[in-house]
Amino acid sequence: MTASALLPVFALMTSLTAAIIIFTLPEQKHRLRTVVNLTAALLKLLLVGLMIWGVFQGREYGVSFTMVPGVDFVLRADALAMLFAGLSAALWLLTTVYAVGYLEGSPNRSRFFGFFSLCVASTMGIALAGNLFTFFLFYEMLTLSTYPLVVHRGTQQALRAGRTYIIYTLTGGAVLLLGISLLHSFAGDLPFRPGGHFAGIGPDLQAPLSIVFVILIAGLGVKAAIVPLHGWLPTAMVAPAPVSALLHAVAVVKAGAFGIVRVVFEIYGLETANALGLLSGLAAIAAFTIVYGSVRALSQSDLKRRLAFSTVSQVSYIILGLCLLGPVGVAGGLVHLVHQGVMKITLFFCAGNYAETLGIHRIDELDGAGRRMPATSVAFTLAAFGMIGTPPLAGFITKWTMGTGALATGMDWVIAVLVVSSLLNAAYFLPVLNRIWFREQKDPWTEERQWGRFETSAWLLWPPLVTAAFLVLAGVLASASFSPLGWVELIVAREVGP
């Protein structure tokens, strides 16, 4: 085996191995577990970094073997894979740090970190999957490895949420499998390929292809939380903060969105999908989800629930971006895969900090929190402004790129969606910021605790600060070649052409 084959396998194996080691470690070996966790996370970041560098220079990494005749297991590192793998590797490291601090002294940590590593291995597999079958394998593995994380606390509420989650996602998985099998029955095993497989197909295949497309999107749309398949997401916010952070930023919703990207770009091909008239429908659903999620977020009084509905809205930006057809609009959608991840993980980290340090769960308890926890609040503020799309932050880059792309292809109505969404985002984030910074504390925070030298434990404090710095830099340095936007432009050049 050459290095080109080994790198993707190693990247996958680091988290898998970590998972196996952690499962076998005794519960009380905190220090050793932390060392294993962090070593694996750092190692993976390094491996992914190496692959990103190689892909940037035009190298190909991949490995494949036949499972049963006609079905191949394919891992392949292309530019698109590296977008998701890079995001997942970077945020896994930070979330691990955060989770170590968050779960300090709580039971069942071995189980937690084991499944945590499995979950990250799944996202890595989803990123590197080279065909629909491999994708599906890891997609289901993700479902199964996140369930124990969602119900980790074991409370009645958590178990109920877990049940909702597993019903939604397993059904989604089944629908996806149906779509993949149908596609297999008349087109064979399809590797992901820029431009897709169905350019210039005959009219006899159009109807079945369209039907399969709808089935595939429905299957993937559950995880991507497209309305009306989003019901599990706000319920699942009972999970511990690091899990919510990972669920909303990298693992689950992104897996769905990423799958849709793969299907549209590399199975159907953007032009074919559009010629079949499939994208306008998808765009309409995405636009509706964007507005619906924001409207629902407005009326939530629980901080994490508000953030959850915000995710419903924001993930559909990615899908709407794909439907903008032109290279610029597509870039806007893809870059949001990273931008939304970085911004949302910051918000969930901060929500976790408020909850763990001050016992704050509801928005009206946040009055005066800025004075008590300034660093956390600065990170939260930056991420919230990013979500609104205020320049010069990451969210603005998304909005601007998508807007330009929409105008370039004559889809002016998308501007209206962007504006309405920004206004709604402002309407549900600015009052929160006002409470944090400009209101005086009303009632004492009953569960307040002094934790560490700073406003909270350093393990909890640094991750949101780092991600907040990312979301500022992703915006301010957007035109640098190593920025998310720079990378996405590379992908688009390879996938869609200039």
Tell me: does residue 38 bind other proteins (CB under 8 A).
no
Bridge partners for 129 per DSSP: 75
Strand (E) or helix (H) holding 63: strand 61-68
Tell me: does residue 462 bind other proteins (CB under 8 A).
no
Query: Assign residue 325 a region: left if phi > 0, alpha if psi is -120 to 50, beta otherwise?
Result: left
SS (H, E, C) 163-226: HHHHHHHHHHHHHHHHHHHHHHHHHCCCECCCCCCCCCCCHHHHHHHHHHHHHHHHHHHHHCCC
434 close to 355: Cβ distance less than 8 angstroms: no
The nearest distance, CB 227 to other proteins, in angstroms, is 24
Nearer to other proteins, 75 or 436 (CB): 436
117 close to 161: Cβ distance less than 8 angstroms: no
Tell me: does residue 475 bind other proteins (CB under 8 A).
yes
Nearer to other proteins, 48 or 325 (CB): 325
DSSP result, 64-77: EEEEETTEEEEEEE
Strand (E) or helix (H) holding 462: helix 458-476
Q: Whole-angstrom Cα distance, residue 479 to residue 331?
A: 13
The nearest distance, CB 147 to other proteins, in angstroms, is 40
Q: Which of 199, 284, 430, 493 binds other proteins (CB under 8 A)?
A: 430
Q: Which of 71, 144, 407, 469 binds other proteins (CB under 8 A)?
A: 407
The nearest distance, CB 368 to other proteins, in angstroms, is 12
The nearest distance, CB 283 to other proteins, in angstroms, is 18
Q: Which of 19, 75, 468, 478 binds other proteins (CB under 8 A)?
A: 478
The nearest distance, CB 420 to other proteins, in angstroms, is 9
Q: Which of 23, 73, 437, 454 binds other proteins (CB under 8 A)?
A: 437
Q: Which of 144, 291, 476, 494 binds other proteins (CB under 8 A)?
A: 476
Tell me: does residue 413 bind other proteins (CB under 8 A).
no
Query: Assign residue 239 a region: left if phi > 0, alpha if psi is -120 to 50, beta otherwise?
Result: beta
Nearer to other proteins, 231 or 392 (CB): 392
CA–chain centroid gap for 213, Å, is 22
Strand (E) or helix (H) holding 432: helix 413-438
The nearest distance, CB 268 to other proteins, in angstroms, is 28
Q: Which of 349, 400, 451, 487 binds other proteins (CB under 8 A)?
A: 400
Site size for other proteins (CB under 8 A): 29
x/- mask, other proteins, residues 222-241, rule CB under 8 A, reads --------------------
The nearest distance, CB 290 to other proteins, in angstroms, is 15
With CA atoms as reference, report the closest residue to 149 among 118, 184, 176, 123.
Answer: 118
367 close to 442: Cβ distance less than 8 angstroms: yes
Nearer to other proteins, 255 or 485 (CB): 485
The interface region with other proteins, picked from 194-202, 260-268, 291-299, 430-438 by CB under 8 A, is 430-438
The interface region with other proteins, picked from 55-63, 67-75, 190-198, 419-427 by CB under 8 A, is 419-427
Q: Whole-angstrom Cα distance, residue 294 to residue 316?
A: 11
Nearer to other proteins, 228 or 391 (CB): 391
Nearer to other proteins, 140 or 367 (CB): 367
The nearest distance, CB 468 to other proteins, in angstroms, is 14
Q: Whole-angstrom Cα distance, residue 482 to residue 464?
A: 21
x/- mask, other proteins, residues 370-399, rule CB under 8 A, reads ---------------x---xxxx---xx-x
In this structure, is the dihedral angle defined by the CA atoms of residues 191, 43, 253 and 105, taken in order, positive or negative?
positive
The nearest distance, CB 410 to other proteins, in angstroms, is 11
Within 8 A by CB and 6+ apart from 191, the residues are 72, 74, 76, 130, 131
The nearest distance, CB 489 to other proteins, in angstroms, is 12
The nearest distance, CB 346 to other proteins, in angstroms, is 18
394 close to 364: Cβ distance less than 8 angstroms: no
Query: Assign residue 154 a region: left if phi > 0, alpha if psi is -120 to 50, beta otherwise?
Result: left
Tell me: does residue 470 bind other proteins (CB under 8 A).
no
Q: Whole-angstrom Cα distance, residue 266 to residue 195?
A: 6
Tell me: does residue 166 bind other proteins (CB under 8 A).
no
Tell me: does residue 332 bind other proteins (CB under 8 A).
no
Footprint on this chain of other proteins (rule: CB under 8 A)? 385, 389-392, 396-397, 399-400, 403-404, 407-408, 415, 418-419, 422-423, 426, 430, 437-438, 440, 475-480
